Structure 1
Amino acid sequence: MNPLDTTDAPGDARDADGHRPAHEDGDRLADRWWTKLGPGLITGAADDDPSGIATYSQAGAQYGYAVGWTLLVTFPLMVGIQLASARIGRITGKGLTETFAKLCPRWLVIGLVALLVVANVINLGADLSAMGDAMRLVFGGHAGLYVVAMAGVSLLLQIWLPYASYVRVLKWLTLTLLAYVGVGFAARADWALALRSLVLPSMRWDRDYATTVVAILGTTISPYLFFWQANQEAEEIRRIAADKPLACAPEQAAAQFRRLRADTLIGMGFSNTIAFFMIVATAAALHAHGVRDIETTAQAAQALRPIAGDLAFALFAAGIVGTGLLALPVLAGSAAYAVATLAGVRRGLDRPPQGAKAFYAILSGAMLIGLALSLSGFNPIKALYWSAVVNAVISVPIMVAVMIAASHPRIVGELRMPAIWRGLGWLATAAMAFATIVMLALQVLHR
């Protein structure tokens, strides 16, 4: 049963065995559009993790509304590459690591997974630090204690909570992102200018601006999101008895591809809408009042307080904690899936701890290394910002591999991606490569 399904209403027509007619079930599910949301929604929401918050906050503080256009541009690109990843998982019933192994030499697959793990562990540490900072601001006390507590809670939930229940928790956590809609309105933004900047790009050819654009690309189009959505589609196949990999059950393809499109479009749309509100809020509350450089998450929240009020401050802090709790399992889980696949051990959040000991050990190791990085005392918001830049750089080879796999006959057979989505996926890859080259070139020229 889908975690968001509600209980049956009184008076439902049923047969002698207590079952509703099949056509009625289908009609009900068709009407309940939210039942189609799952891996895509969670992936999109996890994209607005504390790394994203840091990047959008710095962008809004430094350049105001002028970077809003990047979110409109990245939306179709995100959909293209995430849909390619989701289709691979649904068609093959396997994650990206297994898929890459069929097409690439092992050394290359190991290299791609290593890049993913390094970026994810850095992100884990930075996200935990940002969450600890936010908790300290609201409740006082020592940030390190909050960091340890939140890492422990997240890890225990991943290990001991049944997968279906855990998915339900993650779905409800996506609602915490609505806090940033509240921050945007509390900051009393210039909405006419914000909307104009969304559709009329403002370009600057300098190193800092290029780095900011690449950071936004890197936090919206991140490798861990590709791996996570593909793996979660494979998990859903194992969880739902009627579902089969589309390579084995092509008759399910039309319905599943419709669901994938809806799930991915809504998930990525939700992600970028919230990101837009983050930029708008910090542009109105910080940039417009001369606050241009954000050094810590505490500074970002505290700068909002005297300008936008206590409500904006509280919502900003709550959003960091909520989105962090959503992102931690995605970061640790995608790394664990990739490494466990390379090691050839049992894996999956749907498996009990005793049935996948090595998988959960890898997941725990990723979380503990991230925790150690968080407690080491580095500047969290700078680390979050630069982790987004690192994500952008390492995304390109992984995106190339995803797009090749999504249309390769050995992987998808006759279920090749339609031209429009294939084009968007390759356009996303090209955009990421171009932005990264421009950023690196400007870094060299300005030395």
Structure 2
Amino acid sequence: MKPKAKKEGLIQRFWGKLGPGLITGASDDDPSGIATYTQAGAAFGSQLLWSALVTYPLMVSIQEMCARIGLVTNHGLTGAIKRYYPKYFLYAILFISFPSITLNIGADIAGMGAVGNLLFPAIPGFFFSLLFTMLILYSVIFWSYHKIALILKWLCLTLFSYILIPFLIDVNWPQVLKDTVLPTVTPDKAYFMALVGILGTTISPYLFFWQASMEVEERHEKRLIVDKRNMDNMEADVKGGMLFTNVVFYFIILAAGTVLFNAGIHHVNTVEEAARALRPLAGDQAYLLFALGVIGTGFLAIPVLAGSLSYMIAETFGWNEGFDKKYYEAPGFYLTMGLSLVIGLLIHFIGISPIQALIYTAVLYGVTAPVLIALILHICNNKKIMGKYTNNGWSNFFGIATFLMMTVSSLFLLWYTLGN
């Protein structure tokens, strides 16, 4: 075999192994994440870059546990909770998740529409929001799971636009390196609001449910058996996906911290305001990459948001579920998805600032995630549920570290909020 052909074969096999982990990780950098990371960079420069380094092993740990739950139990996270825990746990999770995820969807749709209007000023933003919503709804209802998964995987490439931006502008790399490896903490409400927002949008509860459910879909699609080889493939997929999302969010904070913070722009009210601010300061290329990235990540993340909610509702009430089923085979699953998209679209008329909705959603995720993380740890240490695939020492170490970091940062935020 020729070296070139051999290399191409390796790349194809590697790309083929990437699946739910890559999609989950990439969808984490949705317009919500972009808004949160941009605001963090604008407010604190490169001061919060260390969070990308610290959160990587934490994200891998939690998402790997969720993936393992899906593979071992053949049920999503909601299904596992329903079977082994009191019902009030399940209903409390739904009570918190439905408004949070729907608000997240609405803010993402509004952000995509606003950026569409920036690129084509003659067309109203709501027209783009409506168009994007209809396209997403059509695709998830009428396309097969295989096609949806493949398209979502290719949409991950849009995130490279954010990696390119810092290389189009002047960056103080020694300071960047220092802030990456040496955490600097500012003891005030704004700092902890930004930190909890980053943690919330990075370690998002809806991703826990999506990861587990997609592993079940993948198991059915490929007829996988639970063995060491498939567990290893799953772990590689999760590690690759989480690495991708953290590299991207690192570069978004870096771009905003270099361009907006240094120009004295410390607060952005809308997604399009962030894009517009980049144009005179960083040039048309950076502006265009930022804008296209918002739209691309919206197409990637909104099906994940709506899908995670549909899996949760369907498993709670025992409905048929899954992208591998036709509409008539799982009407409740698809109606939930459609309803969440329509409600998200109508949020546009309430008058909520998209960027505020996105940031506060991320903060809400950050406050509620510790409860879910504790539950996931409990499931993954329960031999009655997981059999021989319970947590090892490292999984528990990083899982507990994730729980403690999110809990402590949330308590500091509460302390500074009540104290002021």
Q: TM-score, normalised by structure 1?
A: 0.90
Distance, in Å, in 2 between the alignment partners of 1:442 and 1:416 is 38
Residue 368 of structure 1, aligned match among 307, 328, 342 = 342
Match of 1:124 among 95, 105, 114: 105
CA-to-partner distance for each residue in 1:192-238, whole Å, 9 max, x for gaps? 21122110111111111011111000010000110001000000111
Among residues 156, 162, 175, which one is paired with 1:193 in the alignment? 175
1:254-309: per-residue Cα shift (whole Å, max 9, x none)?
Answer: 11221121111111110010001101111111101111111111211111000100
Q: How does 1:150-299 map to 2 (within 5 A)?
A: 150-241=132-223, 243-244=224-225, 246=226, 252=227, 254-299=228-273
SS of alignment partner, residue 188 of structure 1: coil
Partner of 1:114: 95
What CA distance in whole angstroms lies between the structure 1 residues aligned with 2:59 and 2:353? 29
**Using the alignment, how far apart are the partners of 1:35 and 1:192 within structure 2?**
38
In the alignment, which residue of structure 2 is the partner of 1:249? none
Give unmatched runs, 5+ long, in structure 2: none
Q: Does 1:444 align with 2:418?
A: yes
Within a 5 Å distance, the mapping from 1:311-350 to structure 2 comes to 311-350=285-324
Structure 2 counterpart of 1:51, from 32, 56, 60: 32
Bigger shift: residues 211-220 or 418-427: 418-427
Does residue 90 (structure 1) correspond to residue 64 (structure 2)? The answer is: no
Tell me how far 1:136 sits from its aligned partner. Answer: 0.5
1:76 matches 2:66:
no
CA distance in 2, matches of 1:165, 1:298: 31
Q: Letter of the 2:142 partner, please give it.
A: W
CA distance in 1, matches of 2:68, 2:288: 39
Q: How does 1:399-438 map to 2 (within 5 A)?
A: 399-438=373-412
Offset of residue 376 of structure 1: 2.8
Structure 2 letter corresponding to 1:332: A
Change (3 A) 1:416 1:296: same
Q: Percent identical across equivalent pairs?
A: 37
**How far apart are 1:413 and its partner, in Å?**
1.1
Q: Where in structure 1 are there 5+ consecutive unaligned residues?
A: 1-8, 13-27, 247-251
Please point out which of 41, 62, 74 is paired with 1:60.
Answer: 41
Q: 1:29, 1:35 within 8 Å by CA — same for their partners in 2?
A: no
In the alignment, structure 1 residue 393 sits paired with structure 2 residue 382: no
Partner letter of residue 66 of structure 1? Answer: Q
The answer to whether the 8 A contact 1:66-1:197 is kept is yes
Matched, 1:310 2:291: no
Q: Does 1:382 pair with 2:356?
A: yes
User: How many pairs align?
Assistant: 414
- Paired AA for residue 290 in structure 1: G
**Aligned-partner Cα distance in 1 for 2:232–2:274:** 40
Cross-structure match for 1:102: 83
Please list every run of at least 4 consecutive aligned residues from structure 1 whose deviation after the TM superposition is greater than 4 angstroms: 28-31
Amino acid corresponding to residue 212 of structure 2 in structure 1: A
Is the contact between residue 45 and residue 267 of structure 1 (CA under 8 Å) also seen in structure 2?
yes
Secondary structure of 1:325's counterpart equals helix
Tell me which residue corresponds to 1:32: 13
